[in-house]
Structure 1
């Protein structure tokens, strides 16, 4: 399963998908409606969980690769929504897991609020 970043969509993984070919089937790359950071990370994690459940059922183990905020969303699903029970591997690429100062200029963004570094 591949989870895209804030200003991305599933197409960001096209090159990786071509490289993987049929080695990783089924490969789920859901489009999450992040709305430029207006969708709260926990809400996006719930949507991710719904995609996982629809594609893989309730118990099949999954591997996740999250890019940018997609890594934070995947980690939220794993840690807060029970995903740890079925996650086999989790890879986070370029994800602000400890927050990022670039989230400061967007005070109304619920996604940015979730990734602001604590002071």
Structure 2
């Protein structure tokens, strides 16, 4: 079995330059993990999510110890970027734990207003998401976790953020953008990562 590392890569969402995950990065590092916020260019999704997943792949190869697996935590679009890396780019061999926070696994209504490749990929019923979801069971080896809130008006319907496999947690955070900095969410991430290492 490939040894697990304490390396955790944090993947932010669309139009997010990482500030939303800085608190999580700090608290995970204080808890003994080696957490790294990954800045993706250009994270509007203009060039498509494959382009962003390639950057994530390079970050894993750079930051994760060779011969060890790491953990991925994706917020919003970042969770879909992580899924494409895991399911379509061989990332399952390098990752032992996947946590998605408010990610549009089945698309979001608001993506209809993004008239470019990444926006089209995040729409409800897109071929991109259908291909990932048809192969969803492949994520089982990462013991996937989905964390979501019923108050989310960015991910519509909010149930799109709920993965039908793995473990899910509903946290009553009032705004989508507050999710990765909420203390309850960070505590869940910490607990899930510790449990995965045990």
Q: Same fold (TM over 0.5)?
A: yes
Residues matched between the structures, number: 118
**CA displacement 1:13-39 (0-9 Å, x = unmatched):** 122123223324321211001342313
> Secondary structure at the residue paired with 1:96?
coil
Matches of residues 15-34 of structure 1 in structure 2 within 5 Å?
15-34=23-42
Please say if 1:65 is aligned against 2:73.
yes
Matches of 1:6 and 1:25 in 2, distance apart? 25
Q: What does residue 100 of structure 1 align with?
A: 108
Matches of residues 31-110 of structure 1 in structure 2 within 5 Å?
31-107=39-115, 109-110=116-117
Structure 2: gaps of 5 or more residues: 1-8, 127-198
Please say if 1:4 is aligned against 2:12.
yes
Once the two structures are TM-superposed, the CA of residue 57 in structure 1 deviates from its matched residue by 4.8
Once the two structures are TM-superposed, the CA of residue 87 in structure 1 deviates from its matched residue by 1.3
Runs of 4+ in structure 1 deviating by more than 6 angstroms, as ranges, are none
Q: Contact 1:33–1:39 (CA<8 Å) still a contact in 2? A: no
Q: Contact 2:104–2:122 (CA<8 Å) still a contact in 1? A: yes
Q: 1:35 to 1:86 in 2, by over 3 A?
A: closer
Once the two structures are TM-superposed, the CA of residue 43 in structure 1 deviates from its matched residue by 1.0
Matches of 1:24 and 1:40 in 2, distance apart? 34
Task: Output the aligned Cα RMSD.
Answer: 1.7
TM-score (norm 2): 0.55
Q: Contact 1:6–1:34 (CA<8 Å) still a contact in 2? A: no
Q: Contact 1:32–1:44 (CA<8 Å) still a contact in 2? A: yes
Please say if 1:112 is aligned against 2:119.
yes
